[in-house]
Structure 1
Amino acid sequence: MSAGERASTPAAVPPVDPVDDRPSATAVEAGTLRRALTALWHDPPAVAGTVVLLVLLVVGLAGQWLAPAGTNDVDVDEMLRPPSGAHPFGTDELGRDVLSRVLVAARVSLQVGLVSVGIALAVGVTVGLLAGWYGGWTDNVLMRGMDVLFAFPVLLLAVAIVAVLGPGLVTATTAIGVVYTPIFARVTRASVLAVREQVFVRAAVSIGTSDLRILRRHVLPNIAAPLIVQTSLSLAFAILSEAALSFLGLGVQPPAPAWGRMLYDGRGFVTDAWWLGFFPGAAIFLTVLAFNLVGDALRDVLDPRQLTVSEARRSTR
């Protein structure tokens, strides 16, 4: 098979027979999972990113128990101590253990990232499905609303929403979810416009299948690939946005630890206590990098247009 024929074949998302009453998403999800796992296994950067994410997940779930000290245990005799055996990441201006605060803050970043992207995914996919399937005035009304949100810079819109609702973890999560909704709506709409013209979807319409059933059993499973990729990439940007809001004092409020807030607190000690900003900054850097590495690998395998490139890359290793 030639490269052009291979790129035009919907290998990542096999069509679903509309007259087959079996669960259509099962085969698609199984094939997608196998391809994703194969891509991650053969891509060393993606493997490294996956390992980092697994470690981060463990830290996020068990950070409170892994922390060697309390996150708010003040000890004035241990103020601004450099990294040592007793305090591997040093202490801050109040004598609190930086390692403990970094570990506990991982849960906050993961929570905000997962929940906010979950909100954006649920709302954006719903809007995109309705706009792409029905078209006409429904498409115009819904997508023009998304365009209004998309016209604002992400951080500026998030700051505006938090300023109206008030700072805090819940409002920061909601704001990040709102600002990333248009991205998922656009990706979903574009995919639906392509899938709804496929023969298996037209066949389902011709036999009188309801719109809800077609969208749930035939359209949504066949547009899962770009949504998976967009989700993995959006998680990285959501964590960055949470860190930015916390740095500005609009996210998690003291004394609860947050990576962005720790960066803000350490900005005045750059020359005297470099570790205050280095370790939370390194945590943000590694987390975002890991999500991007995994997202790039998923895009290579789930995007049919990238199949030739990824195969050529693996053949040279």
Structure 2
Amino acid sequence: MSAARDSQARRALSALRHDPPAVAGAVVLLALVVVGTAGRWLAPAGVNDVDVDQMLHPPSWAHPFGTDELGRDVLSRVLVAARVSLEVGVVSVGIALLVGAGIGLVAGYYRGWVDNVLMRGMDVLFAFPVLLLAVAIVAVLGPGLLTAMIAIGVVYTPIFARVTRAGVLSVREQVFVRAAVSIGASDLRIIRRHVLPNIAAPLIVQTSLSLAFAILSEAALSFLGLGIQPPAPAWGRMLFDGRGFVTEAWWLGFFPGAAIFLTVLAFNLVGDALRDVLDPRQLTLGEASRSTT
């Protein structure tokens, strides 16, 4: 089974390398990681260096992205804000993945009343619009980076719970799982050795797609003043600050908006490609087409 999974992983990587949109998305994400890691060193100026003589200057050689209403360099703030978006996206989706996958595993494997109780709880969370529930959680806990991570993690937990449960319900009926049960293997061993490896593909795809929506949610919270608090830079907050200068200083909203757009697009391109190459039906069709040529 390990050799089969390795072979499937190699085929998936080969398919990704021959998918131009996926490669472009991966390049953008790699650049984002580099910028997020080294943004403070790459920034040409301090993110909060105020210079009233340089207020609202358009893009130039000195300031490629222009300056804001306080004379701060927009490029520097966009670069440093990338780290915040990555942190919120990765941590919040990590929370949703761990909690949601745990709930889905228990609900799908044990079923019965355990399944009903856990999944009805997830249905309650699903009943709320994502942004509205995130705003409510932040309003209770108070605005800030940590609360934004928790809020976004909570609202995306039901998605991972449902994806995991659906996979577990399918896998637990397979012959190899029944064989493991018949020889007396413990539930923990069955879940760890047989269930989790066979539901990893949809979880990987869901994680990549959820990262895009988590970054959008963080930008929305920051735009509403409930996410990252000034003077720390955040793409959503920069959009909020630039909304009053649309006609006078278009660059204030354009560059942070473009950063959000490119990041979300890159995650979606990679996520869509992963969904295609990790879909067993696509792999089967690919093998069939190769065997007929």
Same fold at TM > 0.5: yes
State yes or no: 1:217 paired with 2:203. Answer: no
Tell me the alpha carbon deviations over residues 257-308 of structure 1, each in whole angstroms, 9 at most, x when there is no partner.
0000000000000000000000000000000000000001000010123346
2: distance between equivalents of 1:188 and 1:134?
Answer: 13
Partner of 2:235: 259
Partner of 1:295: 271
State yes or no: 1:182 paired with 2:144. Answer: no
Partner of 1:234: 210
1: distance between equivalents of 2:128 and 2:155?
Answer: 9
Of 111, 128, 142, the residue aligned with 1:152 is 128
SS of equivalent residue, structure 1 residue 81: coil
Amino acid at match of 1:38: S
State yes or no: 1:245 paired with 2:260. Answer: no
TM-score when normalising by structure 2: 0.96
Amino acid at match of 2:235: W
Displacement of 1:40 = 1.6
Partner of 1:110: 86
Displacement of 1:32 = 4.6
Q: How does 1:133-172 map to 2 (within 5 A)?
A: 133-172=109-148
Question: Structure 2: where are the runs of 5+ without partners?
Answer: none
Amino acid at match of 1:296: D
1: distance between equivalents of 2:173 and 2:107?
Answer: 15
State yes or no: 1:73 paired with 2:73. Answer: no
2: distance between equivalents of 1:214 and 1:123?
Answer: 19
2: distance between equivalents of 1:310 and 1:48?
Answer: 23
2: distance between equivalents of 1:256 and 1:310?
Answer: 48
Displacement of 1:311 = 8.0
Partner of 1:305: 281
Partner of 1:61: 37
Taking only the aligned residue pairs, the percentage that are identical comes to 86
Amino acid at match of 2:56: L
SS of equivalent residue, structure 1 residue 55: helix
State yes or no: 1:47 paired with 2:23. Answer: yes
For the 8 Å contact 2:223–2:239, the answer to whether it is kept is yes
2: distance between equivalents of 1:178 and 1:32?
Answer: 32
- Structure 1 residues 297, 251: CA separation in 2 closer, same or farther (over 3 Å shift)? same
Question: Structure 1: where are the runs of 5+ without partners?
Answer: 1-15, 17-25
For the 8 Å contact 2:16–2:277, the answer to whether it is kept is no
Q: How does 1:28-39 map to 2 (within 5 A)?
A: 30-39=6-15
For the 8 Å contact 1:301–1:310, the answer to whether it is kept is no
- Structure 1 residues 225, 76: CA separation in 2 closer, same or farther (over 3 Å shift)? same
Amino acid at match of 2:40: Q
Amino acid at match of 2:165: R
Tell me the alpha carbon deviations over residues 12-59 of structure 1, each in whole angstroms, 9 at most, x when there is no partner.
xxxx4xxxxxxxxx5465345323321221100000000000000000
Tell me the alpha carbon deviations over residues 151-178 of structure 1, each in whole angstroms, 9 at most, x when there is no partner.
1110000000000000000000000000
1: distance between equivalents of 2:131 and 2:289?
Answer: 36
Tell me the alpha carbon deviations over residues 192-219 of structure 1, each in whole angstroms, 9 at most, x when there is no partner.
0000000000000000000000001110
For the 8 Å contact 1:237–1:288, the answer to whether it is kept is yes
Displacement of 1:70 = 0.1
Amino acid at match of 2:142: G
1: distance between equivalents of 2:202 and 2:20?
Answer: 22
More RCO (CA 8 Å, sep 6+) = 1
Aligned-residue CA RMSD in angstroms?
1.7
For the 8 Å contact 2:58–2:66, the answer to whether it is kept is yes
Partner of 1:129: 105
- Structure 1 residues 113, 31: CA separation in 2 closer, same or farther (over 3 Å shift)? farther
Partner of 1:275: 251
Amino acid at match of 1:268: G
TM-score when normalising by structure 1: 0.89
